[in-house]
Structure formats: structure tokens, C-alpha cells
């Protein structure tokens, strides 16, 4: 008892099952990516910020386009060769297709990696600085007497300690007794201090009940030593001036003696600044960079004078400047002979500690009060990157899935290749249709995200 029309076509419809199936599946995929593309349009039209344009490196994207187109050709050749029973050529073409998928994903990973380490900071006046953290990045130093509230329902003391860089931090409880917290501290050991007496410590459920009976849901500690916290942004719900709330519900509350971010700036964008003349950027970068920026603006304005002064394309060139310095390695390699781009001739001495790490990026130390919002170039930074990651991430998943299916046909379908090559050819055809769809999505994605 076999399902009919797996290999042969049904006479009246002229199709075999899998072919109908894959076209239906692709229809649904069209709706999936269609929904995402529509969302892109909706978000871009409705954006109340300057939608990033031409911010991505075109070259890796372009290479990826070529790689995918090549793989679409080879997958068809694989199918045709299989139909002609040229098995060696079939296998070669399949290998090339899968290899192309690998190359695509590697380039994608390279592009992603760059974004995870790139930081954007929106200052309170709307000016945007982007750049990299030298080391440490964002640090908060809280003076002694800082109150730490650990939520016993959800949190544990070792969680926030992970982000405390102070050596041997010391804490006291409400009764004034010393409490020893170390990285191994747990709710259980902590509770020993707060709930002395006999109770069943064997189960977590019992513990929670004991807590509930004692009406204890949180533990308050006071730091005896100052605390320096270098927290990853994803582990907190943000710093609100006085308090840092960690994801586990631990709240650290105290007066900051130091609340600063060190940033090696690689771009200044004053498009959204309240007053570009008095932008906070110049407060940090110094007048030399301001002058360089103004020169850059005049030059660019000359180049783009055909545009209206309020045109987004005009603003994009005139009101932002890349500080395109070579990296340390490049700098050493070229050693002075390098032809710096127009913007970088500006002396970097204006910024504090610019040459400190041998980098040509001006390094600034931003005060907490001046930082409106900051993030790495992840979905959090703005909706362009959010939809970029969603679209390319989902597309990348499709590439991986497609490559896995093709690899399965190539590597584990040998029995079918011997006994029923026609059926395998149908499978390759169906896989190839999917592969073409994945390619087609990229053909839309590339201009949409890199060029438009």
C-alpha cells in the first residue's frame, strides 16, 4: 500500500504530490516574508528617528548575493545531472551548493559579530555617538552604604555578584551582623542567616513555605565597601540614576560616586541634536573635532548642493561624520604612510586620552547624566537593526534548513539514488525550489537593507 503520485505525475493535474506541497509551502513562506517586508515598510514610513541608510558594508552583502545566485545555478545543475544519471557531476554540484550555503553563513556571522561589538550612545540632547568600548565599558561605582535588596522569590545573591568587580565586597544585614556573600552564595545559605531556627532545609518548596510563613520575600543588605559594577546591559533592566535593577529582581540602590562610560568614538551624528552648535558631542570631543566636523559639513554640502537643505539625503551627508581612523594593526602596518580619509586629519588631541591605547579613535568618558539611551548595534539600538536582524536571521535559518535538507539528500539518500533515482530527482527538485525561494528572498533583502 503506497501513496500514489510520489514519483509520477497524476494525469489530470500533471503534478506529483511533493511539488504541490512545496508550492503551497512557498506560498505560506511568501506570506511570512511578505508580513516582515510589510512591517519594514510600516516601520520605516512611521519612523520618528532618522532611519539608518547605507550603514551596512555593501561588499559582504554583495558577495553573499553572488554566492547565493551561484548556488541556485548549481542546485539546478545537480537536478539536471541527476535526471541524466550523471552521478559524479550531480554530487559535485550538490557539494558546491552546500559549500555556498556555508560561505554565506560565514559572511553573515562576520557581519553580525561586528554589530554586537559596536556601541551606539544617544546623548540627552539627541546627538548620537557611536564607537567601541575599550575595556570595562560601562561602569558604576557606588559609595559605601549602598542598599542591596535581594528578591527571594526570584533572585539569588550570586547573580548580582557576578557583575560586581570590587575585590572582597562586604555586606551587613539589617541587624548589623556581617554577612559573607561569595560567588557560591545561595538562597539556602543566605536564609540560614535570616531565618535561624529549625526548619526543613531539604526542599525548595519547604523553603518557600517557610519564607511565606515568616512573611519574608526579600532580604536587605548594606554594602560596607564601595561597589563597582560593570554589568552587561542584557542582565539589568537599566540604570535609573540611583538604582540598578538586575534581571533576577535584585535591586542595588545607592549614591554613585562614579557612573561613566568610556567610548572610542567612530561617528558623530547631530541630525537629531537640539542645537548642533552646542551639541554635547563637542563638550566631550573638544573644539578641534567640532572644527573638523564643520569643515566636513561644508565640503559635503558643496558635494550635495542639488538637494534641498531639509532633504534626508542632504542631512545624512552633512550632519554626520565618520571618524574613520585605521585600527591599531592597520596603523602599524602602514605606519604613517597611510592616506587618511578626509575626516581624520583633524587632530585627536582635543578628546581626552585619545592616544591612550594607541588608537586613532578619540576616546571620551561620558557622564551618566548625559546618556539618554545606549545599546550595542543589536535589535535594541533601533528598529532598523531590529528588523535587519529579524529578516536576515530568519533568512539565515532558512539557508541552514535548506542546506541541511540538501545535505541529507546528498549524504543519506544513497539507497534511493541506486534504486529510485527518479524519486530522488523529484526530491532534489523540491529542495531546489525551496533553495530558489531562499535565494529570491535574499535578492529582495539585499537592496532593501544595504542599498535603499
Partner 1 sequence: MSAATATHDHHGEHAHDHSHDHHEIGFWRKYIFSTDHKTIGIQYGLSGLVFLLFGFFLMMVMRWTIAYPGVPMPGMVALGNLPLVGGFFTEWVDQWAPGGIVSPALYNMFGAMHGTIMVFFGIVPLGFAAFGNFVMPLQIGTIDMAFPRLNMLSYWFFFISGVIMFGSFLLPTGAVQTGWTMYSPLAETDQMGVKNVWMHGHTWWLLAMVFNISASLLGSVNFITTAINLRAKGLTWFRLPFFTWAMMVISFLLLLAFPPLEVAALLQLGDRVFGSSFYLPTGLMEGGAKLDIAGGGNPLLYQHLFWFLAHPEVYVLILPAFAIVSDVIPCNARRPLWGYKAMVYALLTLAFLSFIVWAHHMYLTGMGTMMSTFFQITTVLISIPSVILLTCLMITLWGGSIRFNAQMLFATAFLPMFGIGGLTGLPLAFNFIDLFLHDTYYVIGHFHYVVAPGTIFALFAGVYHWYPKITGRYMSDLLGKIHFWPSLIFMNMIFGPMLYQGMIGFHRRWYDGGKYFEQITSGHLWTNELISFGAWGLALSQVPFILNVFLSIKGGKKCTSDNPWGATTIEWAAPNLPPHGNFITEPVAYRGPYEYSVPGMERDYLPQFELEATTPVPAVPSSQAHF
Q: Contact residues for partner 1 (CB under 8 A)?
A: 1, 3-5, 10, 13, 15-18, 20-21, 24-25, 27-29, 31-32, 34-36, 39, 42-43, 46-49, 153-155, 159, 205, 208-209, 212, 234, 237-238, 240, 245-249, 373, 375, 378-383, 385-387, 389-390, 394
CB of 397 to partner 1, least distance (A): 11
The least CB distance from residue 394 to partner 1, in Å, is: 7
By beta-carbon proximity to partner 1, the closer residue of 103 and 386 is: 386
CA quadruple 30, 36, 38, 41: dihedral sign: negative
Which DSSP state fits 326? P
Q: How far apart are the first and last CA of the chain?
A: 55
Q: For residues 24 and 274, which CB has a smaller minimum distance to partner 1 in the complex? A: 24
Between 37 and 95, name the residue whose CB sits nearer to partner 1: 37
Task: Give 194 or 389: the residue with its C-beta nearer to partner 1.
Answer: 389
CA atoms within 13 A on the CB side of 130: 22
Q: Whole-number minimum distance, CB 347 to partner 1, in Å?
A: 33
SS3 category, 366: strand
The residue whose grid cell reads 529510485 is 420
> Shortest approach of partner 1 to residue 108 CB, angstroms?
17
User: Rounded distance, CA 72 to CA 315, Å?
Assistant: 40
Task: Please report, for the chain, how many H helices and E strands are present, in that order.
Answer: 13, 15
When the beta carbons of 217 and 327 are compared against partner 1, the nearer one is 217
> Residue 25 or residue 194: which is nearer to partner 1 going by CB?
25
Residue 32 Cβ vs partner 1, minimum distance, rounded to whole Å: 4
CB closer to partner 1 out of 133 and 159: 159
CB atoms within 10 A of CB 180: 10
> Would you say 7 and 420 are in contact if contact means Cβ atoms under 8 Å apart?
yes
Rounded Cα distance, 254 and 252, in Å: 7
Q: Which residues of 153-167 are buried (b: 16+ CB within 10 A; e: fewer)?
A: eebbbbbbbebbeee
Q: Minimum Å distance from CB 62 to partner 1?
A: 26
Cell of 439: 535565494
CB of 178 to partner 1, least distance (A): 26
Amino acid at each position: 500500500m503506497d501513496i500514489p503520485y510520489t514519483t509520477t505525475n497524476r494525469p489530470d493535474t500533471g503534478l506529483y504530490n511533493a511539488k504541490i506541497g512545496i508550492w503551497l509551502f512557498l506560498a505560506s513562506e511568501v506570506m511570512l516574508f511578505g508580513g516582515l517586508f510589510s512591517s519594514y515598510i510600516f516601520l520605516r514610513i512611521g519612523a520618528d528617528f532618522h532611519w539608518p541608510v547605507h550603514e551596512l558594508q555593501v561588499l559582504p552583502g554583495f558577495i553573499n548575493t553572488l554566492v547565493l545566485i551561484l548556488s541556485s545555478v548549481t542546485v539546478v545543475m545537480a537536478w539536471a545531472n541527476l535526471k541524466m544519471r550523471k552521478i559524479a557531476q550531480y554530487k559535485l554540484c550538490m557539494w558546491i551548493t552546500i559549500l555556498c550555503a556555508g560561505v554565506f553563513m560565514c559572511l553573515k556571522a562576520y557581519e553580525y559579530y561586528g554589530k554586537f561589538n559596536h556601541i551606539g550612545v544617544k546623548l540627552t540632547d539627541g546627538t548620537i555617538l557611536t564607537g567601541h568600548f575599550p575595556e570595562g565599558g560601562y561602569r558604576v561605582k557606588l559609595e559605601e552604604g549602598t542598599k542591596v535588596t535581594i528578591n527571594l522569590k526570584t533572585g539569588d545573591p550570586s547573580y548580582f555578584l557576578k557583575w560586581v568587580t570590587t575585590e572582597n565586597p562586604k555586606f551587613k544585614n539589617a541587624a548589623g551582623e556581617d554577612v559573607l556573600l561569595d560567588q557560591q552564595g545561595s538562597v539556602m545559605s543566605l536564609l540560614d542567616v535570616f531565618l535561624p531556627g529549625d526548619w526543613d532545609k531539604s526542599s525548595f518548596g519547604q523553603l518557600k513555605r517557610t519564607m511565606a510563613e515568616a512573611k519574608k520575600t526579600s532580604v536587605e543588605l548594606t554594602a560596607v565597601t564601595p561597589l563597582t559594577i560593570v554589568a552587561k546591559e542584557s542582565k539589568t533592566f537599566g540604570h535609573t540614576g540611583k538604582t540598578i535593577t538586575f534581571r533576577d529582581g535584585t535591586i542595588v540602590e545607592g549614591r554613585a560616586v562614579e557612573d561613566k562610560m568610556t567610548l572610542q568614538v567612530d561617528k558623530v551624528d547631530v541630525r537629531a541634536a537640539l542645537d548642533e552648535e552646542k551639541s554635547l558631542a563637542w563638550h566631550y570631543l573638544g573644539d578641534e573635532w567640532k572644527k573638523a566636523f564643520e569643515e566636513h559639513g561644508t565640503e559635503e554640502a558643496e558635494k550635495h548642493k542639488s538637494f534641498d537643505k531639509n532633504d534626508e539625503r542632504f542631512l545624512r551627508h552633512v550632519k554626520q561624520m565618520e571618524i574613520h581612523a585605521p585600527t591599531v594593526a592597520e596603523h602599524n602596518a602602514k605606519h604613517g604612510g597611510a592616506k587618511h580619509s578626509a575626516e581624520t586629519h583633524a587632530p585627536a588631541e582635543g578628546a581626552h586620552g585619545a592616544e591612550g591605547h594607541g588608537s586613532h579613535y578619540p576616546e571620551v568618558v561620558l557622564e551618566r547624566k548625559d546618556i539618554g539611551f545606549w545599546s550595542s548595534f543589536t535589535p535594541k539600538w533601533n528598529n532598523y537593526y531590529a528588523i535587519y536582524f529579524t529578516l536576515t536571521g530568519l533568512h539565515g535559518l532558512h539557508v541552514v534548513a535548506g542546506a541541511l535538507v540538501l545535505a541529507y539528500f546528498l549524504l543519506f539518500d544513497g539507497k534511493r539514488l541506486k534504486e529510485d533515482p527518479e524519486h530522488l530527482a523529484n526530491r532534489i527538485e523540491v529542495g531546489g525550489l525551496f533553495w530558489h525561494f531562499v535565494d529570491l528572498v535574499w535578492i529582495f533583502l539585499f537592496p532593501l537593507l544595504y542599498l535603499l
